[in-house]
Chain A
Amino acid sequence: MNESTKVSTIVKKYTMTIALVVVFVFFTLLTGGRLIYAQNISNLLLQNAYVLVMACGMLLCILTGGNVDLSVGATLGLVSAVAAQLMDQSSMGALPTIIIAMAIACLIGVWQGFWIGYVHIPPFIATLAGMFLFRGLARVVLASKTVNIQNSNFINTFISYINVPGMDNKSYHLSALITGIVVAVLLVIFTFVNRAKKVKKNYEVGSMASTIAKVSIMSVLIILYSWELANYKGIPVMLLWILLVVLIFAFITSQTAFGRYFYSVGGNEKAAKLSGIDPRRVYFWAYFLMSVLAGFSGLVVAGRIGSVDGNMGNTYEMDAIGACFIGGASAYGGSGTVPGIMVGAILLGVINQGMSIYGLPDEWQYVIKGAVLLIAVIFDVVSNHKVGKA
């Protein structure tokens, strides 16, 4: 491989990451550096927590063949409505509320997964129906009112900041920076130990230079991010929740047989079936997990906003879907990765926040978001054209 093709394959592989960097720099300049204020950086992920979490589930649905789940915004609304009413009307504690709310999310998942997986209702229609159903039920539960959440345990479970006495004070949170450095160091150690293991077993590994480049960029970003957090309020608990979900799903999709099945079914359902993979189960699990994540997002968002109304989660499904497609999930199914869609979600988040800080009117924000989504999918289709897909 000569130098120029090497560069072009790298550019192709990391297009969205490069786009993210470009967009980030662009908005930093446009907003006169306000985008990288500690508060804004800290809020970037928190504000988009529901996108990051739901995009993981949406990826599974999209993998099965470009199918999406339109009902997640409504599911999010219903689960958060139930949680709010349990605490408000029944004065229930935080833990039982969370358990019951998540049980309902599971029930919704079973409902959707059953129709789509085992009765073969087309996902688009089943989830469109779900969108109306759950939105309506959410309003029934709320009796069309706005319900405030006063349970501080519940709120703290999702939106408090980690505060280590002695290390942190009002203006500076050393614990965040230390955690960041520890994570970065662990990442470096883990990467190289893993690589050494592979070399020992004679497995194929990437070049040393690219490994070093990758791991050092990651470490620097982690430390920079933790430094920003340290300058604001420290490590938000919500960040830990997000990381938990994202890491679990990244692991499932890339490292487990269960995760591989989503790719196989989406890539060629007939071949997967004849290889002993049951597509019905795969569809069931995609929509089940999606609903569970939507429910979880409902709790997170309810905690963050502090109240729930009948429009809670409206059009949130579009953010999750958009993040997946911008992040390189194929609109035909069978390809897409969790790290990829995280880049997509963060890219959307940066654009949103950048535009808000800059003060771009709402109507133009929509136009820009639409354009970004279209460009991303055009890119996916055109670059896959050679492979004969599309």
Chain B
Amino acid sequence: MPDNILMMKNITKLYPGVKALDNVNLEVQRGEIHALVGENGAGKSTLMNVLSGTIPYGQYEGSILYDGKDCQLKHIHDSEKLGIVIIHQELALIPELSIGENMFLGNERKGKLGIDWDETYSQAEKHLREVGLKDKATTLIKDIGIGKQQLVEIAKALSKNVKLLILDEPTSSLNEEDSKMLLDMLLQFKKQGMTSIIISHKLSEVAYVADKITILRDGATIETIDNESHNIDEERIIKGMVGRELTNRFPSREHKISSEIVMEAKNWTVYHPVYTDKYAVNNVSFNVKKGEIVGFSGLQGAGRTELMMSLFGKSYGSGISGQEFLNGKEVHLKTEREAIKHKLAYVTEDRKTNGLVLIDTIAKNTTMARLEKVCDKRGIIDIGKENQVAEQYRKAMNTKTPSVQQHVANLSGGNQQKVLLSKWMFADPDVLILDEPTRGIDVGAKYEIYCIMNDMVAQGKSVIMISSELPELLGMCDRIYVMNEGSLVAEFESAEATQEKIMGSILQSGKKNNTDVQKDA
């Protein structure tokens, strides 16, 4: 009989019109790392909300056995009392407060009168050391990087005497290095006897840390796979997630690249908008040919987004210098409007904060970047035409929604991404810049977005793709540029590129920079 710390039995949760969870079972053994995987909307987060008491007892069916006892969790405090702590994907830290204040937020160390600050900070620092952070507990959250913030969240969980730690997409905003560090820490905690549940889309990480993998699909448990040897085949997991064998994760296409260069940047240099003496992009030159998909690889903060945004009508940075050419002619794009008119489109990385107007309809979002296309000369919108256009794109993109009058906020991540793509396809660009186009969306939707990219280049347009997922770049691109710390450090034809070569070029450039610094000193 295995020693189960947690058994969730026949959990069913109904939302109006939707069965979010349908008789889900989850067994977690004491001291293991249990991964929960599934496409978006499979019910992973709902299940964890049931477990943490965010969805209170009584609003779902089924039972939860924790440490062998039946639990009726009505509030997040109830689960925390039992040592169940959940860390959400979006970090819940307050930027203007210190690490220590954040750590004991809602759980303050009280003295005789008010808060005992000495106790707060000394305990906070103790937990910080446990997660390997050397920062002082009085440091403000906004002054530390996102990787460290994630660690502070974990330290906060430790301060609550956590026995079962739940991490929802902990590495989605971390770079590879920070991700690795975080995963290794989980393995370290496992040795000390802690149990964790990790939700992740990154299957390589799941394979690396998880002892068992439970797959959810459409609100139901599909299977639990053993992964004690930590070498499970990713295709095996994907098969369970999508319910079919994805023989090819990337759609094939004919490579019809002409020699004609449609976009080129020469000696492009951009400074940080606030710290105006700091390079964001340092002397970068690159080109894109007609019908080509060009990838940009690099760690987070390598300057890829900054490069593209500054080329897109100076939407980022200060002191921009260098030359930008479109279709062989030099252009000076001063606003986003001019960039769009010159047939450039930039699909933002963060679709919710930078891409879509969530409270508007799909139709209004679709036409937003080139509203004049559905207007007459006097600027009066033809609403009927607008809806028709939106409907066309909905069909072409296979966006799953009953109507284009639906508010974008009601769509799933993958479908939102499709609306965002519709918007920029409608702008009719020659060069489409995609910044992390598949982040946070499921395998099936990813495949559809790859197909859309292929359609674009088949029409003789060009695509620039920024991505942090190397397999995706290798699978989709014709050429890959590698950036590190604001500079271009390598360029590969996709045929000759490998993950090792790309990572290698990043690491080498990092070393080179360090030695440069030493020389200067």
Give residues in A with beta carbon < 8 Å to B. 198, 201-204, 255-258, 260, 263-264, 267-268, 270-278, 330, 334-335, 387-389
Contact = CB atoms under 8 A, between A and B. Distances in A.
A274 B356 contact: no
Contacts of B210: none
Contacts of B360: 263-264, 267, 334
B354 interface: yes
Nearest to B339: A276
B369 A275 contact: yes
A258 B336 contact: no
Interface in B400-455: 407, 409-410, 423
A388 B352 CA distance: 12
A389 B380 contact: no
A389 B409 contact: yes
A277 B348 CA distance: 15
B396 interface: no
B359 A198 contact: no
Contact of B336 (A198, A204, A274, A330): A274
Given A387-B359, A389-B358, 17 more contacts: A204-B387, A255-B383, A256-B378, A256-B380, A257-B371, A258-B379, A260-B371, A264-B364, A267-B360, A271-B348, A271-B356, A273-B315, A275-B368, A334-B357, A388-B358, A388-B409, A389-B359
7 contacts: A201-B384, A272-B368, A330-B359, A334-B359, A387-B358, A387-B410, A388-B409
B357 A257 contact: no
B231 interface: no
Nearest to B391: A204
A264 B368 contact: yes
B105 interface: no
B14 interface: no
A272 B369 CA distance: 8
Interface in B343-387: 346, 348, 353-360, 364, 368-372, 375, 378-381, 383-385, 387
A276 B340 contact: yes
A267 B358 contact: yes
For the complex of A and B, 8 pairs with smallest distance between CB atoms: A203-B384, A267-B357, A276-B337, A275-B369, A268-B357, A276-B336, A276-B340, A257-B371
Contacts of B409: 387-389
A272 B357 contact: yes
Contact of B384 (A198, A271, A274): A198
B354 A257 contact: no
Contacts of A275: 336, 340, 368-369, 423
A274 B348 contact: yes
Interface residues of B, number: 39
Contacts of B161: none
A388 B357 CA distance: 13
B354 A204 contact: no
Interface of B: 312-313, 315, 335-337, 339-341, 346, 348, 353-360, 364, 368-372, 375, 378-381, 383-385, 387-388, 407, 409-410, 423
A203 B387 contact: yes
A272 B371 CA distance: 12
B358 A268 contact: yes
Nearest to A197: B384
A201 B388 CA distance: 10
A276 to B, nearest CB: 4
Nearest to B336: A276
Contacts of B340: 275-276
B371 A271 contact: no
B315 to A, nearest CB: 6
A271 B346 CA distance: 11
A274 B346 contact: yes
A387 B407 contact: yes
The listed residue with most A CB atoms (<10 A of its CB), out of B315, B340, B353, B358, is B358
A257 B381 contact: yes
A257 B315 contact: no
Given A203-B388, A255-B380, A335 B355 contact: no
B392 to A, nearest CB: 12
Contacts of B355: 271, 274
B204 to A, nearest CB: 32
A255 B381 contact: yes
Contacts of A389: 358-359, 409
B57 to A, nearest CB: 22
A270 B359 contact: no
B419 to A, nearest CB: 11
Contacts of A272: 357, 368
A202 B368 CA distance: 22
A257 B354 CA distance: 20
Contacts of B335: 276, 278
Contacts of A277: 336-337, 368
A166 to B, nearest CB: 40
A247 B378 CA distance: 17
B338 to A, nearest CB: 8
Nearest to B315: A274
A203 B353 CA distance: 32
The listed residue with most B CB atoms (<10 A of its CB), out of A204, A255, A268, A271, is A271
B353 A270 contact: yes
A276 B369 contact: yes
B382 to A, nearest CB: 9
A274 B346 CA distance: 8
Contacts of B369: 275-276
Nearest to A199: B384
Contacts of B368: 264, 271-272, 275, 277
A117 to B, nearest CB: 15
B205 to A, nearest CB: 29
A180 B182 CA distance: 73
Contacts of A258: 379
A257 B359 contact: no
Nearest to B424: A275
Nearest to B341: A276
A260 B381 contact: yes
A202 B391 CA distance: 12
A131 to B, nearest CB: 30
Contacts of B313: 276
B335 to A, nearest CB: 7
Given A267-B359, A272-B357, A389-B409, A257 B375 contact: yes
Contacts of B346: 274
Contacts of B339: 276
A256 B375 CA distance: 8
A273 B336 contact: yes
A198 B385 CA distance: 10
Contacts of A257: 371-372, 375, 379-381
A270 B353 CA distance: 7
Contacts of A260: 364, 371, 381
